Amino acid sequence: MSGDYAPEIGPDGRERPRFGEYATPEEQRSRIQQPDVTEALSTGSAPVDQVVDTPVDATPETPAPVAASATPRPVSAVNRLATIVLLAFGAANVLFSLFSYLNLAPAIERSMDVLGVPGEFTSFDAARTWGIVAAIVLLAGYVVTAVITWRVLKAGRVSWWIPLVGAVVTFIAVSFCIAVPLMGDPAFIDFVSSGA
């Protein structure tokens, strides 16, 4: 066995601790917080201004509680309430919009009447197909937004903004789906090209 690994025997006949193996957690923390002590320990001398005599039977001070980084931070009640309200509003919007997208042609005809578009909507097949696609995109967008929001909320992070971003992204995708049958309708194209 090498001399580096053999335990040293102190003047009292007991093995001397090496590498802080017998140090209490409080002693370890105090040494870690004072980097100049490490140099003094390696030279074998005690630092002059840091020597503190403690009686053997003294109880160590309890250290301040340290927040664990693995535990989630508590989420504020305002964040939680705003997130739940936005998700509930989004769910109601999805339910009401879903039925109009599944029957898109009459909804487009009403919109054309409100806008004052002369003529009638004639792209019924495209409206049926793209209405179903728009409904699926709307439902999928809401589900993805809700799942991401609940995960972030459960992790203890700010989550009120996620339903808003999800709504904007889903709205853009659904608007594209609705624009396809509109752009294929001759009456709507004539109205747009006339600049009315």
Average predicted confidence (pLDDT) for the chain: 81
Report pLDDT digits (tens) over 73-84: 566 889 999 999
11-to-16, 17, 21, 28, 40 alpha-carbon distances in Å: 9, 13, 19, 24, 21
Q: Are 187 and 116 in contact (CB under 8 A)?
A: no
Residue 26 — very low, low, confident or very high, per pLDDT cuts 50/70/90? Answer: confident
Q: Is 23's pLDDT higher than 60?
A: yes
pTM: 0.58
Task: Convert 36-61 to b/e letters by CB count within 10 Å (16 or more is b).
Answer: eeeeeeeeeeeeeeeeeeeeeeeeee
CA 112, CA 169: separation in Å to the nearest integer? Answer: 25
Per-residue CA distances from 123 to 2, 19, 23, 49, 97 (Å):
91, 82, 82, 89, 20
pLDDT in tens, 37-54: 556 666 766 655 554 555
State the average pLDDT over residues 75-100.
92
**Predicted pLDDT at 65:** 56
Angle between helices 161-183 and 104-115 (to 10 degrees): 80
